[in-house]
Structure 1
Amino acid sequence: MHELTTPAQYFLDLLGIFGFALSGAHLGVRKDFNLFGTLVLAEAAGLGGGLLRDLVLDVPSIAFTDPGYPLAPLAAALIAYLSGPLHRQPYLFDVLDAVGLGLFSVTGTIKGLQHGMAAVPSAALGVITAMGGGILASAVAKELPALLRWDSDLYAVPAITGAGAASALHAAGALNVATAIGAALTAFTFRLLALHFQWRPRRSATWQAKSSQLPPLPDADAALLTSSSRPAFADTMRLSISSVPSSRIAQQRGPAPLAETTRLRDLSLPSSPTVQPREPAPLEETTRQVQSPLARTSPPGPVDPRLSMGLRHAKSPRTQQAGGHETPGREPA
């Protein structure tokens, strides 16, 4: 164990931090973060696992005492942010992430052994160190970690392999710089093989059954639809749906939501100007509009003589003086 306290462990730590930080910076660029946001993701991915490890060990974090530890993520963030052609090779970031995974799974285990922990807890600490940075960076970027997704390649198993190999070597008394690098290479190779052959964990039996009607959670669906270097989950679902006949989709489609129905109904209605409220017409105008149809409907012809006599009688002075009735016993002169 004394050979691992030399600058070799320091170099392995910086190399693992740089690999994780470059992977986190690549995530920040894909999310279209600014330079500071990309730097935050690089620092979280590179130093997050080491911070969790030091919290478990209850020791001061070396990231705040050695300037080399925060400078490595800074360099990785600048390289990822300023280099456009680098992001055209997404497989390169997977390789660098696998480098950090293999190195941190071994160095985290070794540090636990150096602080007096047993073999199994030390291996668990190595796994936490290897996966903590990626989980923290994904949480900051609001993306579901690859560790938890069923459609992602094996991630935790290579870390467990590297940490378990380091603990086994320590139990056998053969843990040194060469064997520690060999354990890290084993985890690194395992991760690359999983990426190449797309080794993935089995899905839950509930989802494997064709008759399963269990609906997924909205948050899980939204996180799974994020873009990644591998074919997106949304593209896979789109291709699956496009292969189904349209008649079958129409039969399986349920009633449209109320909001969608209202929107379609509003779109189908013709656009018409807003009807302004009309003020009530004056009394004279209303009377004229009522009398005008009557005048138009009365047929022309001779005036009734009795009607004309009644009009002359109503206009006579005696009738007006008598309140509209002629005084009896008096004849007109």
Structure 2
Amino acid sequence: MDPLAATLTVLDYAAVAVFGASGALAAARRKHDIITFGFFAAVTGVGGGTLRDLLIDAPVFWVGRPEYIVACLAAALAIWILGWGQGRERLLLWLDALGMAAYAVVGALKATSLGVPPVSAVIMGVLTATFGGVLRDVLAHEPSILLRRELYVTPALVGAGVFVGLHALDLPLAVSGTMGFLAAFAVRSGAILFGWQMPGFPGRTPPT
């Protein structure tokens, strides 16, 4: 395996584990049992990639490689054993930002490698990076990331867009992938550190 492919594989597993841990944290807040921890972790960890593969008519990535589910369950077990607190949740927030940035690129890369058009490939990158979080919030009865003003979907869109755009210009994969990852992580970091938000609708709310 060449170094780039090895790096992408490591990022893929790491992102799944981090998203799985965020699902387990959602279960922890609700005081659920260990089985629910594992279920939340698995759904969150592989949800985005599953939707991507179904939409682009590719084999669902974790079915033939159950190590991805194992990574999610290991993350859930770690949260169960270590517990959670403000410090760990803050750390996970940053790890989630890294996972989101990596998954935006990995998702778009898989789509482009299968001949998906550029615009659709960007959307696949966004779905891969965010849909697991949407499922997590639904299961945990928490406000969806889609309904929050904080920047989360937007960084994934930026990262996938930068990657696909540079890839279309025939830049080396290492360059386009790194730039896409850094773009997504930079925007998400700004949201975490400085509270960056998208502007809301400026019009008046219609009377009810």
CA distance in structure 1 between the aligned counterparts of 2:75 and 2:207, rounded to whole angstroms: 42
What's the counterpart of residue 191 of structure 2?
A: 194
Counterpart of 2:32 in 1: which secondary structure?
A: coil
Q: What count of residue pairs does the alignment treat as equivalent?
A: 207
Name segments (4+ residues, structure 1) moved above 4 Å: 2-5, 212-215
What's the counterpart of residue 145 of structure 1?
A: 144
What's the counterpart of residue 296 of structure 1?
A: none
CA distance in structure 1 between the aligned counterparts of 2:14 and 2:178, rounded to whole angstroms: 12
Structure 1 residues 175 and 108, CA, compared in 2 at 3 Å: closer, same or farther? farther
What's the counterpart of residue 114 of structure 2?
A: 115
Does structure 1 retain, via aligned residues, the 8 Å contact 2:100–2:156? yes
What's the counterpart of residue 135 of structure 2?
A: 136
Counterpart of 1:47 in 2: which secondary structure?
A: helix
2:188 maps to 1:174:
no
Deviation at 1:7?
2.8
Structure 1 residues 82 and 214, CA, compared in 2 at 3 Å: closer, same or farther? farther
More contact order relative to length (CA 8 Å, sep ≥ 6): 2
Matches within 5 A, 1:89-108: 89=87, 90-108=89-107
Structure 1 residues 68 and 5, CA, compared in 2 at 3 Å: closer, same or farther? farther
2:40 maps to 1:41:
yes
Deviation at 1:82?
1.2
2:85 maps to 1:87:
yes
CA distance in structure 1 between the aligned counterparts of 2:200 and 2:96, rounded to whole angstroms: 24
What's the counterpart of residue 253 of structure 1?
A: none
Does structure 2 retain, via aligned residues, the 8 Å contact 1:22–1:96? no
CA distance in structure 1 between the aligned counterparts of 2:195 and 2:9, rounded to whole angstroms: 33
Does structure 2 retain, via aligned residues, the 8 Å contact 1:3–1:176? no
Does structure 2 retain, via aligned residues, the 8 Å contact 1:20–1:46? yes
Structure 1 residues 189 and 42, CA, compared in 2 at 3 Å: closer, same or farther? same
The unaligned stretches of length 5 or more in structure 2 are: none
Counterpart of 2:85 in 1: which secondary structure?
A: helix
CA distance in structure 2 between the aligned counterparts of 1:143 and 1:205, rounded to whole angstroms: 26
What's the counterpart of residue 68 of structure 2?
A: 69
The unaligned stretches of length 5 or more in structure 1 are: 216-333
Matches within 5 A, 1:304-319: none
CA distance in structure 1 between the aligned counterparts of 2:106 and 2:3, rounded to whole angstroms: 9
What's the Cα RMSD here?
A: 2.0
Does structure 1 retain, via aligned residues, the 8 Å contact 2:11–2:99? no
CA distance in structure 2 between the aligned counterparts of 1:29 and 1:166, rounded to whole angstroms: 35
Deviation at 1:195?
1.0
User: More helix per residue: 1 or 2?
Assistant: 2
- The structure with the largest alpha-carbon Rg is 1
Counterpart of 1:6 in 2: which secondary structure?
A: helix
CA distance in structure 2 between the aligned counterparts of 1:18 and 1:200, rounded to whole angstroms: 27
Deviation at 1:3?
6.4
CA distance in structure 1 between the aligned counterparts of 2:39 and 2:121, rounded to whole angstroms: 28
Q: Identity percentage over the alignment?
A: 32
Does structure 2 retain, via aligned residues, the 8 Å contact 1:166–1:175? no
Q: Say which of 161, 164, 173 aligns to 2:161.
A: 164
Structure 2: which amino acid aligns with 1:36? I
